[in-house]
Structure 1
Amino acid sequence: MTDPADLTVAEAARAIARRDLSPLELTRACLARIEARNPALNAFVTVVPERALEEAARAEAELLAGQHRGPLHGIPVGLKDLYDTAGIETAAGSAVLRGRVPGRDAAAVARLREAGAVILGKTNTHEFAWGTTTNNPHTGPTRNPWAPDRIPGGSSGGSGAAVAARLCPAALGTDTGGSIRIPAALCGVVGLKPTFGRVSRAGIIPMSWQFDHAGPITRTVEDAAILLGAIAGYDPADFATVPVPVPDYAAALVPDIRGLRIGVPRDQFFGLLDPEVLVAVEEALETLRGLGAAVEDVDAGFTREQVISAWRLVNVEGRLYHAPWLEQQPEAYSEELRNVLLQPLPEPLDLSAAYLASYEIKEGVRRVLETVDLLAAPTTMRPASRIGEDPVEVEGVQLSTGAAFASLTMPFNLAGIPAISIPCGFSAEGLPIGLQVAGRPFDEAAVLRAAFAYECATDWRRRMPPL
């Protein structure tokens, strides 16, 4: 067997089921990999080796007693430092919440534990998740495993880097404007943002109550399906969740997409792209077409002005959530985040226009998805930029890191539909490039199926980062 830390979730699960691998062996291998590689990456900010080994031993004892909880039984997982974890600090990458130790797990974490997963610790995030780089002034920058001078994306950059570097088989992230899919694209892994309301956010420190999503970052589409199956479902503690059935996502994975209709919204997603991203995505679309999908250009269903207007709601909600701390301890915030949170609030009419824009985006995108089954587009405008580089350049245009890396992911948050980023190539410098596939509300199965078919037809996921 190879080093157990190099196994995917599905591979490790099968080895554990065959008794070729024990949860303790797998957990020790991941802890050893963290010890060896994390100092250079800063992907994990908190590691709990004693607790992880205790959980692994408990999982092993259950297996020996004939109790098998499923494919996550004994699988080590990392958690973005927004997820509450009983007895483990959850600080959201901030100085404001440093030393905060919750008394109970977030709902998604509790479901992972019920499935038998082993919690390794907490992964780095941008301060309170407000950013696309994971260049955190309090916990330090996370480095991209493909190039240590580059960002891993954000704000779930620690989770993306940890999975790419094989520190853990899977991790959870959150996604308000792209924070799962951006790290997945820049780190060469898979990141799935489910439908708004598919996964409970109870116990997750919020950025936006209207647009936050919780989901997995993994090395393969199959692994993403396994993780989603464990954490999805109705939760009365989260107003957004709805009591709809949770399919067996892993069982639905078949590499056959013949007849599937895939729309390409060029008007809003292809206007400004790094040439290498454009080439990689166009080749990915040809691969999908070659697999039997009907690939056609479609209107996006929204305008750039609507996206800019609707995004104001995130700033308003952030101001509301952080108001007490901004008043009591403003110095605990970085200057960058403090300036963002304290920017002037929109006037009532502008706020109403923002709500209207968010509704129009939802309506417009869903109307497009009545004519096609899925949408496909680039995940980001360009590959990973250098740490500390802001603004960044795309085809001679200077953009903020937020605009360069979130402009193509944000619309699907505002629409509330499921979207996945999968590897689709590399730049000449060896930096990963991501393809984004989105689908109808609560139709994660179709999104996963298309991503799985593409993954089976290519070998991008087999590439190994140098770190």
Structure 2
Amino acid sequence: MGFCKRVVYKPVAEVDVSSSSDEVYISANVKAPRMAGLLVKLFVWLLELRILKPLLLYMLKRENQVHKFVSFVELEDPPLYVPLHPYEEHREPETKYLESGLSPSEQVQQATECIEFSENIGENEKISFRHWTILDYSRAYLSRQITPNMVADKFIASVHQSNDPALQMSFFISCDDQEILRQANEATLRYERGEPLSALDGVPFAVKDEIDCMPYPTTGGTKWLHKVRPCTDDADCVKRLKLCGAIIVGKTNMHELGAGTSGINPHYGAPRNPYDTNKITGGSSSGSAAVVSAGLCPAALGVDGGGSVRIPASLCGVVGLKPTFSRVSHSGVLPLNWTVGMVGVLAGTVEDAMIVYSAISGQILSHQHVEQRHPEVHLPLLNSPNCMPKIKLARYDKWFNDCSSDIKLSCSNALDQLQKIYGWETVDINVPEIESMRLAHYITIGSECNASLSRYLEKLDMDEVGWDARAALSLYGAFDSKEYLNAQRIRNRQLQIHQKIFDQADVIVTPTTGVTAYTIQDDAQKTGELDYINGASLVRYMIAGNFLGLPAVTVPVGYDRDGLPIGLQIIGKPWSEASLIYIAYAVQGLCAGEYKKPEVYYDLLSGLKKGETTQQN
């Protein structure tokens, strides 16, 4: 403690969030070299030596300012352990409220009625590329010209092609052809009888391998976790999708244990970015983002504990939606991070994200197993013009601009267009103590992961764990009770600070990531990599969504000079998913004319007609 200057946090009531605040913006000052291959093995070996481990971990925490901003600080705030937001009546004009007691299929029907349909959208000369949507699949099946069986055949052929040595896209950890065909056959029969379950019936849908989904094991991206924690039932969110008739096509690849942001997995391969196969997808929901980007599924499920839905969505050029904490049931999801993780949606369009969100949302039990009242799910009427009033967008310039020049330009242009076309107002603000929040979140997610896995790790042969994951687990176990408690006090502070911001504006807008997808290095493919500098840039704008349980969405707004996607993030008040979806839809409308087709893309609907072979892509 004597080596570290003690930080004294002022009372929250005195914290100023206005643009004239004297609060200083502190960017992440990561002091750790990139390590992979032999270097990461040596580092892990040193970390796991009992004599050296305490000293090394102490130095890492000190050099990366954990001691300065969390460990040895003075805080008067009480800890907040779980970001459960109280019920608030949050009515917005021109929205559809989903009555309690509706089935998932009925909720999907309500969502589809909120979406504007144009017969000529696919031929609109202003749109150079767009993903096939859930409603495209549904209408194709209802026309009887295409069947779920035909799409399943083409999907299977496309996945096999993606696994070719020339591509090695590594989209999936588990994918069973016969299981896909079984589901497709059942969906085809329902359409033949004129009895589809919903617009999702027969639509291919992927699930991150952190979510239980029968008949597949849940590996969490490891080679061992499914052996000690067998999958015996579907997660609640998967049950709801199956009740809608969705074809679950497999479990997508992910960063091992969700313990990284690159998505590189040494056991199942590095999922590759469809816009450039030499680049990362981002993690940890890497495969889910990639399959949507590549056209194999219009939507997929991910889990977002530290940007793990929004980061890969942005890097792969798709939409990523993380709802309010506890809006979607976490039952059946690997309990790697109880208070920061949330099931989220990755989709090719905002409309599809809304449909899936409506399917998986509903009243659930809180963590204390006591009935907690949530606001009803409500959806924006995307088929109605001017369905929202004037919106105030909060922007913290120093934070917003802490990114690459290409990202800054694309995101700023999108905001300028929103102001010009819709007359929305940008409010200049300050977000104090951002670096403290990042470090407190890291302590929280690391401590929860360590606590969840500790009973398994004691008996585990560590040779089964990837080298980068081993390093992460050592770091996760380094935090003590005082640091954890201080992290939760910082959580309480930040929630109050963000409430002040939301008193001035409707949403906070940021770039989604500080950098675009970077290159997959050869030395990382067998060991994984530790790249905390790029990692800090990827999570720069993520933390409030997870640590404070706030809803957030990312939508594509452009590309960097190398053609790699850029996303804009909107962070909202608790339970404000309808506003976020509407704003994201408005952004999509302004930017969709410039969307580009990925380098690797599988068109599952074009060219299919009854009686024709579907084995060629």
TM-score in terms of structure 2 length:
0.70
Matched, 1:371 2:504: yes
Matches within 5 A, 1:66-465: 66-98=194-226, 101-236=230-365, 242-247=372-377, 249=379, 251-252=381-382, 254=384, 256=386, 257=388, 259-270=390-401, 272-292=402-422, 293-300=424-431, 302-329=433-460, 330-343=462-475, 345-388=478-521, 400-459=533-592, 462-465=595-598
- 3-state DSSP class of the match of 1:210? coil
Alignment correspondent of 1:395 = none
Q: Is the 8 A contact 1:254 1:453 kept in 2?
A: no
Worse-matched range after superposition: 253-262 or 321-330:
253-262
> In the alignment, which residue of structure 1 is the partner of 2:150?
25
Q: Could you list the runs of 5+ residues in structure 2 that have no partner in the other structure?
A: 1-119, 123-129, 525-530, 601-617
Alpha-carbon displacement from aligned partner over 1:415-458 (angstroms, at most 9, x marks no partner): 21111111111011111011001111111010000010111122
CA distance in 1, matches of 2:373, 2:141: 32
**How many residues are aligned here?**
458
Matched residue of 1:370: which SS? helix
Residue 560 of structure 2 contacts residue 566 of structure 2 at CA under 8 Å; is this kept in 1?
yes
Q: CA deviation at 1:36?
A: 1.9
8 Å CA contact retained: 1:313, 1:354? yes
Taking the aligned partners of 1:17 and 1:104, their CA distance within structure 2 comes to 31
Q: Give the equivalent residue in structure 2 for 1:7.
A: 132
- The CA deviation at 1:74 is 1.3
> In 1, distance between residues paired with 2:538 and 2:365?
34
Distance 1:356 1:462 in 2: 43
Instruction: Please say if residues 78 and 122 of structure 1, whose CA atoms lie closer than 8 Å, have aligned partners that are also in contact.
Output: yes
SS in structure 1 of the partner of residue 344 of structure 2: strand
Q: Could you report, residue by residue, the CA deviation over 1:208-253 in whole angstroms, capped at 9, with x for unpaired residues?
A: 1000010110100000000100011123385599443543536456
8 A contact 2:322–2:553 mirrored in 1:
yes
Contact 2:362–2:377, Cα closer than 8 Å, also in 1: no
What is the alpha-carbon distance in structure 1 between the residues aligned to residue 398 and residue 518 of structure 2?
A: 25
Name which of structure 1's ranges 190-199 and 230-239 shifts more when overlaid on structure 2: 230-239
Change (3 A) 1:212 1:413: same
- In 1, Cα distance between the equivalents of 2:209 and 2:182? 21
Q: How far is 1:59 from its partner?
A: 1.9
Aligned-pair CA distance for 1:114: 0.7
- Greater relative contact order structure (CA < 8 Å, 6+ sep): 2
Q: Which amino acid aligns with 1:70?
A: S
Larger CA Rg, structure 1 vs 2: 2
Q: Give 1:244's aligned amino acid.
A: H
Q: Deviations over 1:102-132 (max 9, x none)?
A: 1211111111001110000011000011111
Q: TM-score, normalised by structure 1?
A: 0.92
Matched-pair contact (CA < 8 Å) for 1:202–1:238: no
Whole-angstrom distance in 2 between the partners of 1:377 and 1:254:
27
How big is the shift at 1:77? 0.2
CA contact (8 A) 2:236 2:332 kept: yes
